[in-house]
Structure formats: C-alpha cells, structure tokens
C-alpha cells in the first residue's frame, strides 16, 4: 500500500465512519479499487482508531462525567454507602452500565464473525447487498417519533439489542452508526441520547478490535506500510471529527433517512460491478 492510498482511504474512513453509509463497506470497495488483496486488518483498525480519537474529543465532557461518576460509585461501595441507589438515580452511571451491557453481544458477534471477515471484505457483491440493507434501515427512521425517552428510561433490553446491531456491523456494508442510531430511534429513545449512546458505545468495540488486530499482527508477522498507516490514521481523525459534528446536527433534525438513497445507489453499483468483474 502506498502513502497516497493510505491518505485516500483515511479520508474515506473519516467521512463514512460517522456518516451512516458503512465505513467498512467503503474501505472494502476502496481496497478492491486499488487492488489491495491483503486482509489489511491492522490498517483498517488503525483508521478506526483515528476516528475513535474524534469521538473522544467531541464527547470528552460526557466521558469525563461518566468516569468521575463511576469512581464515585466505587468509593461509595468501599465506604459502605448505598451504592445501589446511586446506580438507580445517576444518569452517568446508568449510561456506563448500558454501554457495558451492549458491548457484550457486540463482542460475541465480533469474535464469531472474525474468521470470515477477510472473505466478506473481498466480496464486492456482498458489500453491495449489505449497503441495500443499511439504506432500508435509514429510510425507515422517517417513521420514528421525534420525541423519545432519555437515559433513565433506557432499558438494558434495548441496550442489548443495540449491541447486537453493532456486532452485525462487522459485516462490510452494514453501517455501525446507522444501525445503532436507527435501532435507538425505533426503540423510542430520543435523538440526542440515541446518537450519544451509539458513538460512546463504539469506544470499547474499536479498542477491542485494535487489541485483537495487534495480537494477530504480532503472531503472523505481517508487513505493513508504517507511513501509509500513520497518514491514513491522522487524516481519518481530522475528517472524522468534522463528519461527527455534522452527523450530530443531522440526527437532531431527524434527517438520518437522507443517506438512504446514497446507500441504495452505491449498493446497486457494487452488486453490478461484482457480477461483471468478479464472477
């Protein structure tokens, strides 16, 4: 992989990680276009680390409040105070435990699909089919209620289902942000909370994927282009930050469905290209 390819893929990752059009699907199509046939898992996850940093920057205050609340809960537990009441009443603590609950099905599905990721990434037609599904989910958000419940009415059951949606997003063409935000809206969660939960939920998922990719990289001893990886990661952070700020505005205005036609068009194009050139 050349440095210019890493930069282009970094831009692609930064734009599509948060805009609900599937970053993994775009990376798969981009790598296919460049003729990159290696799994490039470490490179892909490194780009995700760039966009993860964008999440941390944008939601830094949310993360800070949750960490401080969690530390306070731990202190209460050791001092013999009623920690259970805090768990029931503190919004930040509840958000932490909802993220933990949702991360469990994500991890199970992610590990389950792990042996098949390379095969799925190499199938342009498969990516196209998954993009059609993503577009359909986005279009359906038109019918979601403009109002919804907040964090304190957000049940663990709903969090688990959203975690399943995030786990399925390991399939290239299924948008992680699109599927998790859409699921939140379908479950009657208010737009702001659904978006915040989706992006904060991505933090443990991306960190876990990065740890696994580093482990695989060290075991297999595969070669990587350090320059391309570093440039791509930096670009994905800068572009991802801008895309995240933009998407938050779009979600607040209830216009997530506007990305559906793009997903459909790209999905159909990918299926046609896959049929003509890869069969």
Q: What is the pLDDT of residues 268-279, one digit of tens each?
A: 998 998 888 766
Q: Is the dihedral of CA 157, 160, 162, 165 positive or negative?
A: negative
Contacts of 168 (CB under 8 A, 6+ apart): 109, 174, 179
Report the alpha-carbon distance of residue 100 to residue 16 in Å, rounded. Answer: 25
189 DSSP β-pair partners: 149
Q: Is the pLDDT of residue 51 over 80?
A: yes
- Give 208: exposed, middle or buried? Use CB within 10 Å, 0-12, 13-18, 19+: middle
103-138 confidence digits (pLDDT tens): 999 999 988 887 776 676 678 888 899 999 999 999
Least reliable range by pLDDT among 78-82, 136-140, 203-207, 267-271: 78-82
Give the per-residue pLDDT at 40.
59
Please state the domain extents for the chain. Answer: 3-277
Q: How large is the C-alpha radius of gyration of the chain? A: 19
Q: How far apart are CA 111 and CA 141, in angstroms?
A: 29
56-67 per-position pLDDT tens digit = 999 999 999 999
Q: pLDDT-derived band of residue 98, with 50, 70 and 90 as boundaries?
A: very high
Q: 259 near 178, Cβ under 8 Å?
A: yes
Angle at CA of residue 105, ends 104 and 110, nearest 5°: 105
From CA 17, how far away is CA 207, in angstroms rounded?
15
Calpha distance 120→132 (Å, rounded): 16
CA distance 16 to 244: 10
Question: What is the spatial distance between Cα 52 and Cα 244, in angstroms, rounded to a whole number?
Answer: 11
d(CA 130, CA 241): 25
Categorise residue 254: left if φ over 0, alpha if ψ from -120 to 50, beta otherwise.
left
d(CA 202, CA 167): 10
Global confidence as pTM: 0.86
Residue 38 has pLDDT above 60, yes or no: no
């Amino acid at each position: 992989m050349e440095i210019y390819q890493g930069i282009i893929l970094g831009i692609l990752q930064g734009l599509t990680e948060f805009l609900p059009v599937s970053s993994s699907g775009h990376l798969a199509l981009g790598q296919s276009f460049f003729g990159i046939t290696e799994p490039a898992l470490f490179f892909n996850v490194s780009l995700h680390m760039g966009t993860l940093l964008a999440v941390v920057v944008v939601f830094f205050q949310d993360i800070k409040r949750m960490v401080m609340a969690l530390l306070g809960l731990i202190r209460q537990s050791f001092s013999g105070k009623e920690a259970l009441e805090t768990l029931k009443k503190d919004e930040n603590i509840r958000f932490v435990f909802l993220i933990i609950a949702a991360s469990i099905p994500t991890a199970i599905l992610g590990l389950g699909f792990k042996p098949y990721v390379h095969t799925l990434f190499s199938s342009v037609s498969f990516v196209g089919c998954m993009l059609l599904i993503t577009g359909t989910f986005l279009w359906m958000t038109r019918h979601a209620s403009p109002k919804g419940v907040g964090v304190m009415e957000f049940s663990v059951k709903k969090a688990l289902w959203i975690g399943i949606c995030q786990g399925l997003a390991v399939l290239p063409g299924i948008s992680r942000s699109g599927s998790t935000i859409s699921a939140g809206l379908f479950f009657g969660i208010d737009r702001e909370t659904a978006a915040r939960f989706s992006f904060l939920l991505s933090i443990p998922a991306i960190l876990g994927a990065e740890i696994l990719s580093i482990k695989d990289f060290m075991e297999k001893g595969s070669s990587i282009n350090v320059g391309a990886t570093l440039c791509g990661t930096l670009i994905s952070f800068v572009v991802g930050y801008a895309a995240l700020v933009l998407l938050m505005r779009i979600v607040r205005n209830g216009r997530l469905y506007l990305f559906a036609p793009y997903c459909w068009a790209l999905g159909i194009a990918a299926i046609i290209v896959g049929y003509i050139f890869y069969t």
